[in-house]
Structure 1
Amino acid sequence: MSDLAQVAVTTLKGVGPALAEKLARVGLETLQDVLFHLPLRYQDRTRVTPIGALRPGGDAVVEGVVSGADIVLGRRRSLLVRLQDATGTLSLRFFHFSQAQKDALKRGTSLRCYGEVRPGATGLEIYHPEYRALGADEPSGQVEQNLTPIYPSTEGLTQQRLRALSEQALRALDGRSLPDWLPAELARRHRLAPLADAIRYLHRPPPDADLEELAEGRHWAQHRLAFEELLTHQLSLQRLRESVRAQQAPPLAKATRLPAQFLKGLGFAPTGAQQRVAAEIAWDLQQPAPMLRLVQGDVGAGKTVVAALAALQAIEAGYQVALMAPTEILAEQHFLNFGKWLAPLGIEVAWLAGKLKGKARAGALERIAAGAPMVVGTHALFQDEVRFRNLALAIIDEQHRFGVQQRLALRQKGVDGRLCPHQLIMTATPIPRTLAMSAYADLDTSILDELPPGRTPVTTLVIADSRRPEVIERVRAACAEGRQAYWVCTLIEESEELTCQAAQSTFEELSLALGELRVGLIHGRMKPAEKAAVMEQFKAAELQLLVATTVIEVGVDVPNASLMIIENPERLGLSQLHQLRGRVGRGSAVSHCVLLYHAPLSWMGRERLAIMRETGDGFVIAEKDLELRGPGEMLGTRQTGLLQFKVADLMRDADLLPAAREAAQQLLERWPQHVSPLLERWLRHGQQYGQV
């Protein structure tokens, strides 16, 4: 039998062009694809339950004879079929039916049905059961030999169709038609079953299979496939890393003059963690291969100072640096910071964002092309028309908002389009170890695990919005003592427009209630210049209370602000709440964050808010966030790329990751010929990820 990866689904019985198109929509183009399209769950149809023994709430197979079929006119017209066996009677109810179907279900017909039993108007009922008529010569009670698989589907693909296709593919399956690319030595070491056995088992588990174990993904057959998938994911990242590492980068000599001047003007000494990470980066930048380093630091750990030291090394060596941020407000914050730091050193800082138009834009593009040493902007810096003279270092803030593809696109921006820029990626969202080992395996990681002196821990309170008047009084008291406060309005059903309206009405309500205070408003629909003006007023303490949407999540630094109210915090993920909370506690005053929730809270909502109250450690919060929300949401869909795992689950299979990494390393060293077939098998639809 030929390799199933080369056999098209159209060779299967019953697959014409129309069905092939539907199958292609869910990525099923070959017989190998069909075999790797695994069931989501299983139904037990291996025994017939007597009608008299049925219990509501469970799924069951029943057999009986039709004793009547009538159209019933209630709130909705339905076809009601009475089914009888020796132990009792059951009703089958159809809301969608044809005359032909009614005629076929005539009195005396023997049926086998499957569905969920529920209490109904006529006793126990099954709505829209799967059913088929039993032939006169067909023995009663002869049911399925295996558990029935339920596959991921799409419109126009029925479960019966998918089962029939997998049945045909399984008949073609053997050790030669689906090669096992895990060498026997590796399989033995990690106690992994043969691939064909695992696939056969998962498509057709025997009646005695442990359904709970399968549902939780802890079965040996799932374990075998999850291991291979995680291993392949590691291989793709290793390959990506190798292809970037194989490129040339400009080696940047260790700088002495500019960093010394910068630190002198800073007014405070860097923490031990900042010095350690800065030294790691400085060493990387001296190498002729591109640096790929991720700097993680909790809110306020001083990542920007570390980035500035890296930038100065490139500038002193005579090259350009680009700093990119995902939002205009964060990019502007960096622009102001770097302008303040670098102007005394006589270094020009250029600015480019999507909203820059006309002459201003043309001028910025010209300055960048002419070699402005420091360029700050949004991902507008990725656009084709942006030409750098000699870009040697790209600093990317909040990497999880940028896709891997965008990072790779940077290569074209390097010196002569030939030398790849060094890459420094910063995030204030601490990344749990399991995610760092999978989503960021192509990067070296540095952690800033020390907060600068003078930062105070923030006390978090969880209060129901029925106590809103008390909270407003608390804001009044804090501002009367000379402090400043934030009032954050969160997303309403994912609509930016509605959220801005909510912020507007909250601003009006608070301005009225706190007439003696100077209240400001900032939201995503305002022009960048308006936002910047409001932020400046707040920084200069001309405003005492700032009503804002989550646009202030990152990068805003006002040490005098010591109180933050977050409305409807249950709508946000933990990492985002932690980011927002990090806007207070930046000075020496005792700071508070009030989570003003709307009752009743879901279980998940209660869990999240309890975690926020208990800990201020970003890494603990990130682990919990991953546990509660899963990796896709935490990273944002753009970054997930390959994290749409078919079998593996990063939380459940975290314990497999170290072994999968080690096995990937061994494959690359000892069995390199197995790498491409594995990437092809698991990642064919996301292949471009591994190509630079």
Structure 2
Amino acid sequence: MSEESLNKNGRTTGLDQMPVTALKGVGSRNSEKLAKIGIRTVQDILFHLPFRYQDRTRVVPIGSLRPGDSVVVEGEIELADIRFGRRRSLLVRLADGSGALTLRFFHFSAAQKSALSRGSCLRCYGEVRPGPAGYEMVHPEYLRITEGESPQVEESLTPVYPTTEGMHQLSWRAMAGRALALLQADPAALPEWLPDELLRRFRLPDLTDALGYLHRPPPDAPQQQLLAGSHPAQQRLAFEELMAHQLSLRETRLRQKHLDAPILSATAEWTRPFLKRLGFSLTDAQRRVLQEIARDLQQPHPMMRLVQGDVGSGKTVVAALAALQALEAGHQVALMAPTELLAEQHLRVFQEWLEPLGLEVAWLTGRHKGKVREQLLDDLRAGRVRIVVGTHALFQADVTFHALGLVIIDEQHRFGVHQRMALREKGSGSALPHQLIMTATPIPRTLAMTAYADLDLSIIDELPPGRTPVATVVIPDSRRAEVVERVRSACVAGRQTYWVCTLIEESEALQCQAAEDTVRMLQEVLPELRIGLVHGRLKPLEKETVMAAFKQAELDLLVATTVIEVGVDVPNASLMIIENPERLGLAQLHQLRGRVGRGAVESHCVLMYHPPLSQHAQQRLGVMRETNDGFLIARKDLELRGPGEVLGTRQTGEMQFRIADLLRDQPLLEEVQQAAQLLLEQYPERVTPLVRRWIGDRQHYINA
């Protein structure tokens, strides 16, 4: 499509503007049902692809049938009889000279029984399965054939569409057929936004041809390839959709470069004494990432940088040094964490590091009320508070800053898009704060480059010296007594132990050991040990007191729920017991395991599961036993759980694909990035309509 044919909005009036009600047979009732699954236009119908196909293009001899075949057969009725067993059923014997087949009907009327009389001819479609007297079809679709008649078979494979309540497959096929007819009559109504050069270079079929093929595949189409989503026609559409997401995120990134942000130049006023007091040297990886951040902060446009690092790689030190650069430049810093516990952890660490330098660290959560809150808000507004740590309470409307220069967001994928947008607006005047986003959930590079294309990526790929790999064992909970003895030995030897339960109260459905019951059990069998309990329902002060006692070695054993996933750093803790690990994701297990192995002594993690384990759970626990590499674990997590789970809820609406599948289509991602760059450089007028086609109203979420 030429540039001249675009209207002033950069688009043609076409199938993306035509409502589904323009298709014959789609009235207001059906359009409401379709709207529930996001289908509003004729273009949406075309992009709603079948998930499997039926072969009704040929009549198959009954003698050649195999169990599992879904086929068309034709024959004469030899026998029709009602059988009374556990369920009344109508059995019809159909033969074609090559063999015979039983048709079984559990729901039938007297009229149906009389119509299926001996000597009648039928054409049937159904799935072949073994029965008591040979192969049979249960409730097949059938058509009576009168003598001399030979109804036509289908010319293409029959599509089966994902559907919604009240929408029959016949309706879908009719709608898709009419949408295809409109497209074939006027291909320009669904413009080809990928230029010929790009189609040739990446060996992609034409858009109209790809859609025609997928809605009406020829009889010899490779069904296994279509089922796997790897057919060139499917890959063509996935490629375009992935490109649209990539372009959208890159546009966001380019727009960031045109926005204003304060220039934050370091003076070393606090950085130098901070590094002297630290007590350990930074790793090369930390230094490299800090240089990248320092460069960004000195630019007049907002930094948008994602720092990935495995458990224990030292992201918090990097965040603290970035904060000091902003403070040295006379600006405020806000550090935001998704839970109060994680925010408290950051608060304690930042107070320990920064208060000796004369920098007060404030604390804001939803629990702050009344005069205390009013005073804190007043101090933030006036610039008397320079660094604040908090939860989502930081984005509330009444929180304003004097000169916010840097926002540090920990585990950003656990925040909703509106929250991130709200925090961005807290800058002073037209200047936006710089954003540093941290995650301890390593994301495979290809996925990160696709899902986070709007961010610059830094990876801390080195652990501090002295960290010992944690040896992991997987055992059934029938060996609980052995595990208890192991805990006794470790604690008697002067080491400390975590015992993690996944629920606070007993739940028969989940069969998880409750933390409170576990404490009672352990106190009975280990009376010589000092045992503490931490869970999410404790008051913050109680929780903090117990955690502090454990850190100061006043407790030998800490029983906890998963709240300690991001808990205190206790180098003396060398044993971690995790009950019911099959209930948790790999990333969470890896985070929990990261609580031990922080000292020089050899550390162990015991994954104590409740049998029987599903094959999926066996695979996941096997990965934990075999490796301590967070990036390898993330890759396995991606394979086992899919990208939605791995990325969490980073931005509502962002990673929802119609056709593409990030796991299946990973091999396309590098070429998609090249194609997106080519389009941006050489065909910029096609970018907006391409993004609108695939993302539409969700675009503003991605621009958060």
TM-score, normalised with respect to structure 1:
0.94
Residue 384 of structure 1 corresponds to which residue in structure 2? 397
Deviations, residues 563-613 of structure 1 (Å, cap 9, x unaligned): 001122222222211111110001111101111123333332222222222
Judge which range, 532-541 or 230-239, deviates more. 532-541
Out of 229, 232, 250, which is 1:220 matched to? 232
Residue 644 of structure 1 corresponds to which residue in structure 2? 656
Change (3 A) 1:688 1:94: farther
Matches of 1:301 and 1:146 in 2, distance apart?
Answer: 56
Judge which range, 545-554 or 228-237, deviates more. 545-554
Q: Match of 2:514, SS?
A: helix
Judge which range, 54-63 or 219-228, deviates more. 54-63
Displacement of 1:382 after TM fit?
1.7
Matches of 2:340 and 2:85 in 1, distance apart?
Answer: 58
Out of 42, 45, 53, which is 2:53 matched to? 42
Residue 158 of structure 1 corresponds to which residue in structure 2? 168
Residue 689 of structure 1 corresponds to which residue in structure 2? 701
Matches of 1:475 and 1:74 in 2, distance apart?
Answer: 60
Deviations, residues 72-113 of structure 1 (Å, cap 9, x unaligned): 655455555554544555444445556776676566654433
Matches of 1:194 and 1:491 in 2, distance apart?
Answer: 54
Displacement of 1:638 after TM fit?
4.8
Out of 210, 215, 229, which is 2:222 matched to? 210
Residue 33 of structure 2 corresponds to which residue in structure 1? 22
Q: Is the 8 A contact 2:519 2:531 kept in 1?
A: yes
One-letter identity of the residue aligned with 1:407: R
Change (3 A) 1:299 1:382: same
Please state if 1:336 is matched with 2:318: no
Matches of 2:141 and 2:73 in 1, distance apart?
Answer: 11
Change (3 A) 1:99 1:587: farther
Q: Is the 8 A contact 2:63 2:98 kept in 1?
A: yes
Q: Is the 8 A contact 1:641 1:689 kept in 2?
A: yes
Residue 661 of structure 1 corresponds to which residue in structure 2? 673
Q: Match of 1:176, SS?
A: helix
Change (3 A) 1:491 1:216: farther
Please state if 1:350 is matched with 2:362: yes
Residue 679 of structure 1 corresponds to which residue in structure 2? 691
Alignment of 1:294-309 (within 5 A): 294-309=306-321
Alignment of 1:349-428 (within 5 A): 349-371=361-383, 372-416=385-429, 418-428=430-440
Change (3 A) 1:631 1:225: same
Please state if 1:196 is matched with 2:208: yes
Q: Match of 2:475, SS?
A: strand
Residue 259 of structure 2 corresponds to which residue in structure 1? 247
Change (3 A) 1:110 1:403: farther
Residue 142 of structure 2 corresponds to which residue in structure 1? 131
Q: Is the 8 A contact 1:255 1:312 kept in 2?
A: no
Deviations, residues 502-536 of structure 1 (Å, cap 9, x unaligned): 22222222222222212222222323222222211
Q: Is the 8 A contact 1:500 1:525 kept in 2?
A: no
Matches of 1:512 and 1:482 in 2, distance apart?
Answer: 20
Change (3 A) 1:497 1:138: closer
Displacement of 1:46 after TM fit?
2.2
Please state if 1:463 is matched with 2:514: no
Matches of 1:528 and 1:380 in 2, distance apart?
Answer: 16
Judge which range, 208-217 or 299-308, deviates more. 208-217
Matches of 1:244 and 1:494 in 2, distance apart?
Answer: 50
Change (3 A) 1:11 1:584: same
Displacement of 1:61 after TM fit?
2.0
Q: Is the 8 A contact 2:262 2:405 kept in 1?
A: yes
Give the % identical residues. 65
Residue 172 of structure 1 corresponds to which residue in structure 2? 182
Displacement of 1:199 after TM fit?
0.9
Judge which range, 277-286 or 549-558, deviates more. 549-558
Matches of 2:547 and 2:508 in 1, distance apart?
Answer: 20
Out of 641, 664, 686, which is 1:629 matched to? 641
Q: Match of 2:611, SS?
A: coil
Matches of 1:624 and 1:65 in 2, distance apart?
Answer: 54
Displacement of 1:686 after TM fit?
2.2
Change (3 A) 1:314 1:65: same
Matches of 2:660 and 2:688 in 1, distance apart?
Answer: 20
Q: Is the 8 A contact 2:90 2:105 kept in 1?
A: yes
Q: Is the 8 A contact 1:324 1:378 kept in 2?
A: yes
Matches of 2:279 and 2:509 in 1, distance apart?
Answer: 42
Matches of 1:92 and 1:689 in 2, distance apart?
Answer: 53
Deviations, residues 530-571 of structure 1 (Å, cap 9, x unaligned): 222221121122221111121111243111110001122222
Judge which range, 16-25 or 267-276, deviates more. 267-276
Structure 2: 5+ residue stretches without partners: 1-11
Matches of 1:657 and 1:169 in 2, distance apart?
Answer: 30
Please state if 1:144 is matched with 2:151: no
Q: Is the 8 A contact 1:227 1:660 kept in 2?
A: yes
Change (3 A) 1:520 1:127: farther
Please state if 1:280 is matched with 2:267: no
Q: Is the 8 A contact 2:506 2:513 kept in 1?
A: no
Change (3 A) 1:516 1:164: same
Judge which range, 503-512 or 490-499, deviates more. 490-499
Q: Is the 8 A contact 1:491 1:571 kept in 2?
A: no
Q: Is the 8 A contact 2:394 2:423 kept in 1?
A: no
Displacement of 1:499 after TM fit?
8.7
Deviations, residues 484-509 of structure 1 (Å, cap 9, x unaligned): 11111236999899799722222222
Judge which range, 27-36 or 92-101, deviates more. 92-101
Matches of 2:322 and 2:90 in 1, distance apart?
Answer: 74
Judge which range, 663-672 or 479-488, deviates more. 663-672
Deviations, residues 20-57 of structure 1 (Å, cap 9, x unaligned): 11111222211111111111122222222333443333
Change (3 A) 1:687 1:495: farther
Q: Match of 1:113, SS?
A: strand
Displacement of 1:123 after TM fit?
4.5
Q: Is the 8 A contact 2:336 2:390 kept in 1?
A: yes
TM-score, normalised with respect to structure 2:
0.92
Matches of 1:76 and 1:370 in 2, distance apart?
Answer: 80
Matches of 2:224 and 2:420 in 1, distance apart?
Answer: 42
Matches of 1:232 and 1:496 in 2, distance apart?
Answer: 47
Residue 448 of structure 2 corresponds to which residue in structure 1? 436
Q: Match of 2:538, SS?
A: coil
Matches of 2:289 and 2:250 in 1, distance apart?
Answer: 23
Matches of 1:62 and 1:55 in 2, distance apart?
Answer: 13
One-letter identity of the residue aligned with 2:394: L
Matches of 2:64 and 2:255 in 1, distance apart?
Answer: 64
Residue 3 of structure 2 corresponds to which residue in structure 1? none
Matches of 1:594 and 1:447 in 2, distance apart?
Answer: 29
Please state if 1:477 is matched with 2:489: yes
Q: Is the 8 A contact 1:434 1:650 kept in 2?
A: no
One-letter identity of the residue aligned with 1:39: P
One-letter identity of the residue aligned with 2:57: T
Q: Match of 1:406, SS?
A: helix
Matches of 1:563 and 1:5 in 2, distance apart?
Answer: 59
Matches of 1:390 and 1:136 in 2, distance apart?
Answer: 88
Matches of 1:405 and 1:138 in 2, distance apart?
Answer: 64
Displacement of 1:663 after TM fit?
1.5
Q: Is the 8 A contact 1:350 1:368 kept in 2?
A: no
One-letter identity of the residue aligned with 2:246: Q
